[in-house]
Amino acid sequence: MVVVILVAIYQSTPKQSHLLATKRIFRYLKGTTGCGLWYLKGKDFTLTTYTYVDWASCVDDKKSTSDGAFYLGESLVAWLSKKQTSISLSTIETEYIAAAAYCTQVLWMKQTL
């Protein structure tokens, strides 16, 4: 999955190597269409979210990184790792930006359940 993150970083100005990596990712995904998540009947369907924020983690531009994991019961159903678009002046501001993004994701997930 690290490859997906690396390719996504360069999506605004892709090069030939990024296109080749993206094609390889799609070939891999095409071969895994039979894979999926299995949920047993009667199990807990509680949606739980864990987040982590690393304030000013990028040494080049001092932007923060937000990470999150979304569980449905005991199964990981989504994860997110994203560099924030703005530069935060404090850890609280960084956490507020991340919380807003993750609340949006949780609301969308609850709506689709």
Which class for 105: exposed (0-12), middle (13-18), buried (19 or more C-beta within 10 A)? middle
What three-state secondary structure class fits 38?
coil
> Among residues 55, 62, 61, which one has the least CA distance to residue 97?
55
Instruction: Average the pLDDT over each of 12-16, 57-61, 107-111 and give the range with the smallest value.
Output: 57-61
Q: What is the mean pLDDT of residues 71-98?
A: 78
Residue 21 has pLDDT above 70, yes or no: yes
∠ CA 78-81-83, nearest 5°, is 150
pLDDT at residue 58, as a whole number:
65
Q: Is this prediction's pTM over 0.85?
A: no
Dihedral pair phi/psi, residue 23, rounded to 5°:
-65, -40
State the pLDDT confidence band at 59, using cuts at 50, 70 and 90. low
Chain position carrying tokens 């002046």? 89
Percent of residues, the chain, with pLDDT higher than 70:
88
pLDDT at residue 83, as a whole number:
75
Q: 62: left (phi > 0), else alpha (psi -120 to 50), else beta? A: left
Going from N- to C-terminal start, the domains of the chain cover 1-36, 40-113
